[in-house]
Amino acid sequence: MNQIITLLSQKLGLPEATVKSGLATILRLLKEKASGSDFEKLINLIPGAADLLATTPAPAASDASGLLGGILGAAGGLLGGQAGDAAKALSAFQAAGVPVDKIAPLARGFFDQLQTSGGAELTEKLMETIPALKAMLGGKQT
């Protein structure tokens, strides 16, 4: 996981702490939405993923930066289905300190690394569990 964090930090021009928080947000979303066995496969494919999840606290909703984060956080509770999930996810990324324009590249980088680690089929299954994320990344990964 440390290699992924360093790589994405350099590629995206973000501090490693922000990348860690963003990746922990992705892991939390997947843990919430994916089946237990699929999530366990992910944890086994990426060394350090479980530690990152365990040691990176979820930011409080009030930590969301700016008015947009607050609005999206509130909207997530009011909206149902995919729209609500998308609003909650965006708010969680903002609370983690990830700028809106870096969310898709961060997520894409993570899923690319998962595929490289031998999880091509797993990557697709995990992305199916979060349709808003899949749509944001342009569907199927290459």
- Angstrom CA distances, 46 to 9, 60, 113, stand at 17, 26, 9
- In-domain check, residue 86: yes
Would you state the pLDDT for residue 84?
A: 61
Would you state the pLDDT for residue 54?
A: 92
- In-domain check, residue 45: yes
Instruction: Tell if the pTM clears 0.85, that is, is over it.
Output: no
Helix (H) or strand (E) holding 61: none
- In-domain check, residue 112: yes
Which domain range does residue 129 map to? 2-136
- In-domain check, residue 142: no
- In-domain check, residue 141: no
Q: What is the spatial distance between Cα 77 and Cα 121, in angstroms, rounded to a whole number? A: 32
Would you state the pLDDT for residue 62?
A: 46
Q: What is the spatial distance between Cα 56 and Cα 118, in angstroms, rounded to a whole number? A: 25
- In-domain check, residue 64: yes
Per-residue pLDDT of the chain (142 residues; tens, 9 = 90+): 999 999 999 999 999 999 999 999 999 989 988 888 999 999 999 999 999 999 988 876 544 444 444 444 444 444 445 556 667 777 888 888 999 899 999 999 999 998 888 778 888 888 888 777 777 676 544 3
Domains of the chain: total: 1
Q: What is the spatial distance between Cα 73 and Cα 88, in angstroms, rounded to a whole number? A: 6
- In-domain check, residue 10: yes
Ramachandran class of 15: left when φ > 0, alpha when ψ lies in -120 to 50, beta otherwise: beta
Helix (H) or strand (E) holding 24: helix 16-33
